[in-house]
């Protein structure tokens, strides 16, 4: 890496790259070059804005920091470690490698679940004992691993290839597959990997699209998730690109992220507490123990919003939340054991690459081994939770509520970081926002069903991808239902993940409405019930009201109705062939129009609306 120093400047003890490194026509060769970006390319601000297929580096660590992270005495033979390799595994190299594994192994079935926005394959690897169809082995729990969700996180993707190689060809594959099945999607974001950018080809982040389902990648993933309904889900990432800036206030030259591996469970409070607790006590604790025995540092994953308080000399960090837009949380609602794996390494190019891949792989192996060792208990716990969801939906019970919104609990907790000047590991005080100890802020009684007008087939199409059974009324009927009226509205000021958001507060009242034949019915006695509620309850952070798939304004009645009677509705299942409407029923132009009109009229509307309410 010495030649890179010619294109760097020293800032705060860190060498920050100012000139990009370009991949030439050879897949292994890198040469310094001034290059423009590709058309439409949207790299992260920390990666040089240039066209560098399958490579990026914006930081070179000082020698005294790099020395803290030596590469392990392990040899890898996946494409990213080919002799002379200087960039990362290309999609062509990955697919060739996977086809070779498929040809050599009887345990592996290689499929293609779909294509990216630029028509690159998204491969699926199915590992079962003796290559049996997974339906024949469903008595075993299934572990799902997805990687390189963000294109500029190659360590995660390469570790998935290492895991695939070992499952396909080595003895550990026989041992594990006697007890479990394994699903691997090694590269969720092939376009982002090509451009070495965080987001998808069109920009939106794939990991934040799991409720909206705007992108072909997330549609393919969620259809496949419903096909296999895994008991254990692991999504693999690398972290660090924003964290260096977050710690600039500490020490003489600032601080940097320290831990090799950070882990987090699914936090959504609708997931049974037994599953959330077991995720910590069994899976994560086992992984931490094994990693630390191997010489790797670990902690719970937190994000760093750069919110430094000079008065208290603390920084705010957050465990995140249970929003179903994230892959970890949408899978948790199956329900399943779900986990986020984050490895230190973003921004570093190929620095410490073997260490990054090895620590990732050991984490993956730990989750596979834990599932295998406790396969009966894990299968039983998940099966019982899913059955209970179905049972809960059969009867309206005022004590049975769904958490619509929650809030993290603020704690004071130290965090280990690196002092850049000295290389020492130091503890800094933080305001720690704990999702583990989050509390509900809005709950609603679980209805027997939700009903929508027949015009909302686009909603049915999205929910069907999430495994929801959709029905339609056979005849027109008048029903007593609960309706929502919008009493507060906050419209987003800019486009967020392709949408102008529309956050609302509503009041609910019981009324009667005539529902014509063909009205959509989403019954709650199914395993996808929680996804239905979080998509349709207007105040849910990721609801279809929030993202304007169901556009409403202040004072409107939301065209979603809660059916609270225990009598079964006269409705029949419908398939996705029943609708000829385009899936994108709410385009960006529509939501931008809604925002523009709403921003102008919201104040006037609110004034007259509040006066009308006061006098009524």
> Strands 142-147, 232-239: parallel, antiparallel or unpaired by DSSP?
parallel
Q: Give the closest residue to 89 by CA, choosing from 145, 164, 17.
A: 164
Q: Is the pLDDT of residue 512 over 50?
A: yes
3-state secondary structure string, 345-391?
CCCCCCCCHHHHHHHHHHHHHHHHHHHHHCHHHHHHHHHHHHHHHHH
Least confident of 309-313, 439-443, 446-450: 309-313
Partnered with residue 426 across adjacent β-strands are 417
Q: Is the dihedral of CA 318, 147, 324, 228 positive or negative?
A: negative
Give me the percent of the chain exceeding a pLDDT of 70. 85
Query: What 3-state class would DSSP assign to 75?
Result: coil
Name the helix (H) or strand (E) containing 590.
helix 588-615
Arithmetic mean of pLDDT, 312-320: 90
* Average confidence (pLDDT) over 281-307: 94
Lowest mean pLDDT among 33-47, 70-84, 240-254: 33-47
Residue 122: what pLDDT?
99
DSSP state of 446: P
> Mind listing the pLDDT tens digit for each residue in 150-190?
999 999 999 999 999 999 999 999 999 999 999 999 999 99
Q: In the structure encoding, which two tokens stand for residue 28, read together?
A: 């292994």
* Side-chain-side CA neighbours of residue 13 (13 Å): 21
The packing angle between helices 457-465 and 216-228, to 10°, is 60
What Cα–Cα distance (Å) separates residue 25 from each residue in 28, 31, 39, 152? Answer: 9, 10, 19, 20
What's the pLDDT band for 243 if we cut at 50, 70, 90? low
Rounded to an integer, what distance in angstroms lies between the CA atom of residue 521 and that of residue 459? 11
Mean pLDDT, range 335-349, rounded to an integer:
94
CB atoms within 10 A of CB 513: 16
Cα Rg of the chain, angstroms: 25
Segment 421-435 shows an average pLDDT of: 95
Residues 6+ apart with CB under 8 A from 42: 195, 197, 199, 203
Lookup: tokens for 603: 């104040």
- Going by pLDDT thresholds of 50, 70 and 90, the confidence category of residue 364 is very high
- Express each pLDDT in 199-242 by its tens digit: 999 999 999 999 999 999 999 999 999 999 999 999 999 997 65
Which carries the bigger pLDDT value, residue 557 or residue 14? 557
With a CB cutoff of 8 Å and minimum separation 6, the contacts of 278 are: 337, 381
* pLDDT for res 48: 58
pLDDT tens sequence across 147-160: 999 999 999 999 99
Contact 224, 126 (CB under 8 A): no
pLDDT of 304 strictly over 90: no
Domains of the chain with bracketed CATH: 2-24+34-66 (no CATH), 79-439 (3.40.630.10), 447-615 (no CATH)
Task: Identify any residues that bridge with 445 across adjacent strands, giving them in sequence order.
Answer: 401
Region 328-353: mean pLDDT is 95
Cα–Cα distance measured from residue 104 to residue 55, given in angstroms and rounded to the nearest whole number: 30
Q: What mean pLDDT, rounded, does the chain reach?
A: 89
Task: Name the pLDDT band for 27 (thresholds 50, 70, 90).
Answer: low
Q: Which of 401, 119, 456 is nearest to 269 (CA)?
A: 401
Percent of the chain at pLDDT > 90 equals: 76
Instruction: Convert the pLDDT of each residue in 88-128 to its tens digit.
Output: 999 999 999 999 999 999 999 999 999 999 999 999 999 99
Q: Is 68 exposed, middle or buried (0-12, 13-18, 19+ CB in 10 A)?
A: middle
Q: Are strands 14-17 and 59-60 parallel, antiparallel or unpaired?
A: antiparallel
pLDDT confidence of 138, banded at 50, 70, 90? confident
What's residue 371's pLDDT? 99
372-419 per-position pLDDT tens digit: 999 999 999 999 999 999 999 999 999 999 999 999 999 999 999 999
No. of H helices and E strands in the chain? 15, 25
Q: For residue 60, what are the contacts with CB-CB under 8 A and spacing of at least 6?
A: 1, 4, 5, 8, 14, 15, 16, 17, 348, 349, 351
Position 23 scores a pLDDT of: 41
Condensed to tens digits (0 to 9), the pLDDT of residues 516-573 reads: 999 999 999 999 999 999 999 999 999 999 999 999 999 999 999 999 999 999 999 9
Q: Evaluate the omega torsion of the peptide bond into residue 29 and state whether it is cis, within 30 degrees of 0.
A: no
Which pLDDT does position 37 carry in this prediction?
Answer: 83
Report the pLDDT value the prediction gives residue 36, as an integer from 0 to 100.
Answer: 83
What confidence tier does 311 reach under pLDDT thresholds 50, 70, 90? Answer: confident
| pLDDT computed for residue 178 by the predictor | 97
Q: Write down the pTM of the prediction.
A: 0.91
Handedness of CA 268, 271, 273, 278 (dihedral sign): negative
Measured distance CA(575)–CA(520) in Å, rounded: 12
SS3 (DSSP) at 473: strand
Collapse the DSSP code of 67 into the 3-class scheme (helix H, G, I; strand E, B; otherwise coil) and give the result.
coil
CB atoms within 10 A of CB 3: 10
Q: What is the mean pLDDT of residues 259-283?
A: 98
CA 48/CA 609 separation, integer angstroms: 50
pLDDT 10s digits, 565-606: 999 999 999 986 544 444 443 333 344 344 444 444 444 444
Q: Among residues 166, 401, 15, 487, which one has the least CA distance to residue 5? A: 15
Model pLDDT, residue 161: 99
């Amino acid at each position: 890496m010495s030649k890179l120093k010619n294109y760097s400047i020293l800032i705060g003890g860190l060498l920050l790259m100012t000139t990009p490194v370009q991949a030439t026509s050879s897949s292994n060769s890198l040469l310094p070059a001034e290059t423009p970006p590709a058309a439409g390319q949207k790299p992260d601000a920390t990666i040089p804005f240039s066209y560098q297929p399958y490579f990026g580096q914006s930081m070179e660590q000082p020698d005294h920091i790099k020395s803290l992270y030596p590469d392990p005495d392990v040899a890898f033979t996946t494409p990213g470690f080919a002799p002379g390799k200087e960039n990362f595994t290309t999609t062509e190299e990955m697919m060739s490698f996977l086809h070779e594994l498929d040809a050599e192994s009887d345990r592996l079935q290689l499929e293609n679940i779909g294509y990216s926005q630029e028509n690159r394959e998204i491969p699926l690897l199915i590992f079962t004992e003796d290559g049996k169809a997974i339906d024949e082995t469903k008595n075993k729990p299934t572990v799902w691993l997805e990687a390189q969700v963000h294109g500029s996180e190659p360590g995660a993707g390469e570790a998935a290839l290492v895991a695939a190689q070992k499952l396909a060809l080595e003895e550990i594959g026989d041992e594990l597959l006697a007890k479990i099945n394994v699903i691997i999607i090694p590269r969720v974001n092939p376009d982002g990997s090509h451009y070495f950018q965080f987001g998808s080809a069109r920009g939106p982040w794939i990991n934040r699209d799991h409720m909206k389902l705007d992108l072909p990648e997330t549609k393919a993933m969620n259809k496949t998730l419903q096909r296999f309904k895994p008991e254990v889900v692991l999504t693999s990432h690398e972290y660090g690109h924003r964290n260096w800036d977050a710690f600039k206030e500490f020490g003489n030259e600032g601080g940097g992220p320290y831990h090799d591996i950070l882990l987090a469970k699914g936090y959504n409070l609708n997931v049974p507490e037994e599953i959330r607790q077991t995720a910590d006590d069994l899976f994560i604790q086992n992984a931490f123990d094994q990693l630390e025995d191997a010489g790797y540092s670990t902690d719970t994953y937190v994000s760093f919003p750069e919110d430094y308080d000079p008065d208290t000399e603390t920084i705010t960090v957050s465990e995140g939340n249970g929003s179903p837009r994230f892959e970890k949380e949408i899978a948790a609602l199956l329900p399943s054991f779900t986990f986020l794996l984050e490895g230190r390494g973003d921004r570093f190019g190929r620095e410490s690459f073997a260490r990054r891949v090895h620590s990732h792989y050991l984490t993956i192996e730990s989750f596979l081994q834990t599932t295998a060792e406790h396969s009966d208990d894990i299968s039983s716990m998940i099966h019982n939770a899913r059955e209970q969801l179905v049972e809960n939906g059969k009867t309206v019970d005022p004590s049975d509520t769904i958490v619509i919104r929650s809030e993290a609990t603020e704690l004071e907790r130290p965090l280990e970081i690196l002092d850049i000047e000295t290389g020492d590991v130091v503890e800094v005080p933080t305001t720690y926002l704990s999702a583990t100890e989050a509390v509900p802020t809005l709950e609603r009684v679980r209805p027997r069903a939700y009903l929508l007008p027949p015009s909302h087939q686009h909603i049915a199409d999205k929910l069907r991808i999430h495994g929801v059974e959709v029905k339609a009324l056979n005849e027109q009927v008048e029903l007593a239902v609960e309706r929502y009226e919008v009493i507060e509205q906050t419209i987003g000021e800019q486009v967020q993940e392709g949408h102008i958001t529309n956050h609302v507060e509503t009041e609910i009242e019981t009324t009667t409405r005539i529902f014509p034949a063909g009205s959509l019915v989403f019954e709650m006695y199914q395993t996808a019930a929680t996804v239905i509620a979080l998509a349709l309850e207007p105040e849910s952070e990721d609801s279809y009201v929030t993202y304007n798939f169901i556009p409403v304004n202040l004072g409107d009645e939301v065209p979603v109705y809660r059916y609270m009677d225990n009598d079964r509705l006269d409705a029949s299942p419908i398939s996705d062939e029943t609708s000829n409407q385009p899936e994108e029923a709410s385009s960006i132009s529509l939501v931008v129009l809604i925002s523009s009109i709403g921003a102008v009229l919201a104040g006037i509307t609110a004034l007259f609306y509040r006066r009308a309410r006061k006098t009524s």
